[in-house]
Amino acid sequence: MALWQIFGETKHNLEVPEKNIPNKVFAHNVSEGEEPQRQTAIWPRPLAQKWTVTLFLGTCLLYCARMAMPICAVNMATTFGWSKTQSGVVMGGFFWGYCFTQVLGGHVSDRIGGERVLLLATTSWASITACTPLLAQLGISSLTSMTVARFLMGLLQGVHYPSLASLCSQRVDEGERGFLMSTMGSGSYMGTLMVGGLGSLMLERYGWESVFYGAGLLSGLWSLTVWRFLLRGQMNTIQVLSSHGSSSGLSKKRWLKMFKQPSVCAMVFAHLCFSSTCYSLMSWLPTFFKDTYPHAKGWVCNVIPWLVAIASALFGGIISDHLIQQGFRTSSVRKMMQFMSMGVSSVFLLLLCRPLSFPSAVIFVSAAMGLATFNSSGVSVNVQDLAPSCAGALFGFMNMCGAFTGLVLVYVSGYLIEVTASWGYVFSLFTMVNTMGLGVFLMFGEANRVDLWNLSEVTRV
């Protein structure tokens, strides 16, 4: 069977019923008891380019602030006398807060616009980051104050990606969404590199406080710039008419109806599998290199895979958007990108199961990480194809579940390493999980809208 037969039809067979075209403008008359239609405004290309650069920098700063505590944990533990367990409690506070606001942040973004939610959230977590050294000096226990600060950071940063998903579905043409989401993914890798390089240098020269001050102030400057030059004086908020006082797309009946669709279930399952393996891989890779190649240079394995991931994410977004603009079916492109992300990347993970030289291991890890970024043009964008009217809330649900399953797989991976003393079993487990998620998505994944109860009238600004 040919590869394109698995992915679906190509541009040579594009005749589909009008009701299945994801982002076509429909006439929609509101009858009694039915939700009024929403009006969304697609960004013109110059404005979209400005927002793409701005959101890339915002995501970069998000990770700088997020990783500030892990970078400074050892120095702060020495300063405040924390044990390893107490340090884990502080850093773990972020995770619990991060899970709680995923769905809420996406829902609010669907209602009022993702750009507004991003601005408010970034301003809040930037303030907490900049004030962290001051909070540590309060009269209460430093352990308590830092744990609460990390929990609040998680709450506020938890809305970021659901808001991006909502914003992308509301403001960006279907043929340009892959590049935007891929750019945001590359911003996360850039932020990790920045805080690992510049943050470590600031930590050594000026103390741990400087890392928090720097990340917080730069993030605050980002918020000020967005408000001053992109949002101030503009009515970019999506107006949601509600003569019946109903909410957009979050009723229990409509959620159940949507999750009865095989394409939605396939997308969610694939996202859970990918998030679990990706989160576990990033968590255990430093330990893998340290245990397997104890005398190798650490910076090589901590920098090169991320540099490859940045370039690969951008390339994947460009390719996916180009294929859609050339007339290929959206569902076929999404499946192809996910095949590269979960299928081909797993091949390189399997190659790590046998003894390798250090350069070969770095090459295979870099290839696996780079190909995994194609997910930003696959499942991550598919949520905007299926349910643009509630993309933020649906992505938030997926991300929340993915975070929990990722935590479980990290624990299971650690158990396998401890029991078997072999990394081959761990990489085989990652491959098996990826294969299951990819198989379900290839069989049942689609890109036709399933939220047709809440059609959007798309206009340009």
Instruction: State how far the Cα of 361 lies from the Cα of 306, in Å rounded to an integer.
Output: 14
**Dihedral, 308, 310, 313, 315 alpha carbons, nearest 10:** -80
DSSP 19: G
Q: What's the confidence (pLDDT) of residue 234?
A: 52
Instruction: State how far the Cα of 450 lies from the Cα of 461, in Å rounded to an integer.
Output: 26
Question: In terms of residues, how long is the chain?
Answer: 461
Q: What are phi and psi of 427, to 5 degrees?
A: -70, -30
Blockwise average pLDDT, block size 10, the chain, 461 residues = 48 40 40 45 86 94 91 87 83 83 90 90 96 86 91 93 89 83 88 84 90 95 92 52 40 81 94 90 83 81 86 93 91 95 95 92 94 92 89 90 85 86 91 96 92 52 41
Amino acid at 36: P
Residue 447: name the closest of 16, 1, 3, 12 by CA. 16
Instruction: State how far the Cα of 157 lies from the Cα of 125, in Å rounded to an integer.
Output: 7
Q: What's the confidence (pLDDT) of residue 244?
A: 36
**301 contact partners, CB below 8 Å, separation of at least 6:** 285, 286, 289, 293, 361, 362, 365
CB neighbours of residue 144 within 10 Å: 13
Instruction: State how far the Cα of 273 lies from the Cα of 277, in Å rounded to an integer.
Output: 6
Q: Is 184:164 a contact under the CB 8 Å cutoff?
A: yes
- The predicted model scores a pTM of 0.79
Q: Is 210:198 a contact under the CB 8 Å cutoff?
A: no
Q: List residues bridging with 460 in a β-sheet.
A: 42
Residue 25: name the closest of 36, 40, 47 by CA. 40
Amino acid at 188: S
Q: Is 402:271 a contact under the CB 8 Å cutoff?
A: yes
